[in-house]
Amino acid sequence: MKTRKTDVLIIGSGLSGLMTAELLSSRKNVMIFTKKRVEDSNSYLAQGGIATAMQETDDWYDHFLDTLQAGCFHNESAATRQLVTDGPEMIQKLVELGVQFDRQSNGTYQYGKEGAHNRARILHIGGDSTGKHLIDTVKKRIIEKDLVVEGETAIKLIVKNNRCVGVWSMDEYGNMTATYAQAVVLATGGLSGLYPLNSNASTITGDGLALAYVAGAELTDLEFIQFHPTLLVNEEGKSVGLVTEAIRGEGAVLVDEYGNRLMKHEHPLEDLAPRDVVSRVLYRARMAGNKTFLDIRSINDFQKRFPTVTRLCKENGVSIEKGLILVAPGAHFTMGGVETDVDGRTSIAGLYAVGEVANTGVHGANRLASNSLLEGVVFANRLAHSIRSETDIALISGLEWEGIEILADSPTYEEIHEIMNNHIGIERDEHGLNQALRWFERYIDTTVIHEFPSLGEIKKRNQILVGWLVAGSALQRTESRGSHYRTDHPYQREKWQQRRVKRRKECYESVKSTAGA
């Protein structure tokens, strides 16, 4: 079996992984594994932008409060504060790397607005191709340094005495390699690909979460899965991309097939309510047999402002000329994940996590729009700093391959999707969650050790494990909060709304007094 050595091994090539590599590569030997190509990441598909309080009329504590309020105050407040206060410096860093954010004709940045933000504070690139431009810029630098191994899937973390010392991986031909490293960084994204309707790259199916779980790392908050209200759906009802929330920021509204405004009386922010709220309204409308559309008729120069959505519509035979785009809510982002501190450390020494796979606690129970690219760069920077400042340790190597657990009996991917959708979707209840849990357990019970498994067998095992973890977490949380809505424990909207506003006021006062703002 082949063996490699490096200082830092990063698994995943989204923005957080690439930025960690960029920030470390002048001091450390860095290697990045990506399952397919560098571009196969959620970051690459990100449309809306990157939120940051940079304007003179804005304040970090306003961004902070919007983040807490959208997250239903389940957020870790110190980490959230770090996220928003480090934002402007990281935007500057991106600009130094060559990123060009969209500007107005007078040369100042153009800021967009999205759901649950108090004001327009979202920087974007190429209208609605922010992720693509960000990744292309950072990727160019990484490729020049020859850091990426494409087509390499991490299949098991190598852990010795509760220290992660490397990774077993497999290429597309089934060849296995042991890579030993002082630091292993999970940057593998979330789990939304387990749902039939989702906005994610096809590679994002929870593998990093499964790797961490099997190694014994702590995972938290997995019940919080964000469903984006507006995925583009084709005639067969399949999701074929995202329709960015920034379009609602410019004035588009959600309607049913009769032209009724769906969000009109549902929330004070109407179409720009937090995503969990909007998704539930659309979900219920669809369950009642209605169709849900984004009405873009009020937007001038739509094609120019939103070229990615225009292209997606064209490629999928969706006409934008009539001004109504058929949309449906679908899985988009995993708030929970591998628990980390603000420097990316997990509960296993030598193992770090960054980006969507990590749970720093900044997103709470529902992520605020355009905070995920921000999270990617802010926490990549902190992680790189903490890895740089750690003293070198001797590499451990030469460990025996002991095989891997796979399922002797496994369902189809479609069956997994169906269980996730039917029982751990936008609305859940105890009965359904128990059914899902038992269903996953049936397959977990068939686990056997295999010395030379296929990638397909490992992927299936990972999905079953992750589905089971999500079902278990959702069952344990006997309340409704943010994206986790239990129909057997509903919240009373009026009361909840008042509570959110009261909490916002309290937080505002305490942050203001500590910041001297």
Could you say which of 177, 279, 370, 480 contacts ligand SIN (CB under 6 A)?
A: 370
124: tokens are 């974007």
Nearer to ligand SIN, 86 or 245 (CB): 245
Catalytic residue status for 275:
yes
45 by Cβ neighbours in 10 Å (0-12 / 13-18 / 19+) ranks as buried
Query: Could you give the angle at which helices 60-70 and 493-515 cross, rounded to 10 degrees?
Result: 150
Nearer to ligand SIN, 152 or 221 (CB): 221
294: tokens are 């984004």
47 binds ligand SIN (CB under 6 A): yes
475-480 long-range contacts (CB < 8 A, ≥24 apart) are 475/430, 475/433, 475/434, 475/437, 476/223, 477/223, 478/430
372 binds ligand SIN (CB under 6 A): yes
The strand ranges marked E within 257-403 are 292-295, 324-334, 337-339, 351-353, 358-359
Nearer to ligand SIN, 17 or 115 (CB): 115
Stretch that binds ligand SIN, among 92-100, 233-241, 309-317, 369-377 (CB under 6 A): 369-377
Question: Which residues between 293 and 312 bind ligand SIN (CB under 6 A)?
Answer: none
- Closest-CB residue for ligand SIN? 48
Identify the residue whose tokens are 């995943």.
12
CA–CA gap between residue 228 and residue 366 (Å, rounded): 11
What minimum distance in Å lies between the beta carbon of 313 and ligand SIN?
Answer: 15
Nearer to ligand SIN, 377 or 419 (CB): 377
Nearer to ligand SIN, 205 or 366 (CB): 366
245 binds ligand SIN (CB under 6 A): yes
What minimum distance in Å lies between the beta carbon of 229 and ligand SIN?
Answer: 9
Nearer to ligand SIN, 337 or 350 (CB): 337
Q: Give the interface size with ligand SIN as a residue count (CB under 6 A).
A: 10
Whether 361 contacts 79, CB under 8 Å:
yes
Nearer to ligand SIN, 43 or 381 (CB): 43
Strand bridging mode 152-160 / 163-171: antiparallel
Could you say which of 12, 48, 329, 355 contacts ligand SIN (CB under 6 A)?
A: 48
483 binds ligand SIN (CB under 6 A): no
What minimum distance in Å lies between the beta carbon of 226 and ligand SIN?
Answer: 8
Could you say which of 135, 246, 278, 348 contacts ligand SIN (CB under 6 A)?
A: 246
Could you say which of 177, 200, 244, 308 contacts ligand SIN (CB under 6 A)?
A: 244
**Residues paired with residue 71 on neighbouring β-strands, in sequence order:** none
What minimum distance in Å lies between the beta carbon of 12 and ligand SIN?
Answer: 18
Stretch that binds ligand SIN, among 244-252, 398-406, 437-445, 489-497 (CB under 6 A): 244-252
Q: Show Cβ contacts of residue 252 under 8 Å, excluding neighbours closer than 6 positions.
A: 271, 294, 295, 296, 298, 299
Question: Which residues between 319 and 348 bind ligand SIN (CB under 6 A)?
Answer: none
CA–CA gap between residue 213 and residue 360 (Å, rounded): 16
84 binds ligand SIN (CB under 6 A): no
CA–CA gap between residue 429 and residue 201 (Å, rounded): 29
CA–CA gap between residue 421 and residue 427 (Å, rounded): 9
369 binds ligand SIN (CB under 6 A): yes
435: tokens are 């059914």
* Active-site position among 121, 248, 275, 477: 275
CA–CA gap between residue 88 and residue 469 (Å, rounded): 36
Catalytic residues: 275
The contact set with ligand SIN (CB under 6 A) reads 46-48, 242, 244-246, 369-370, 372
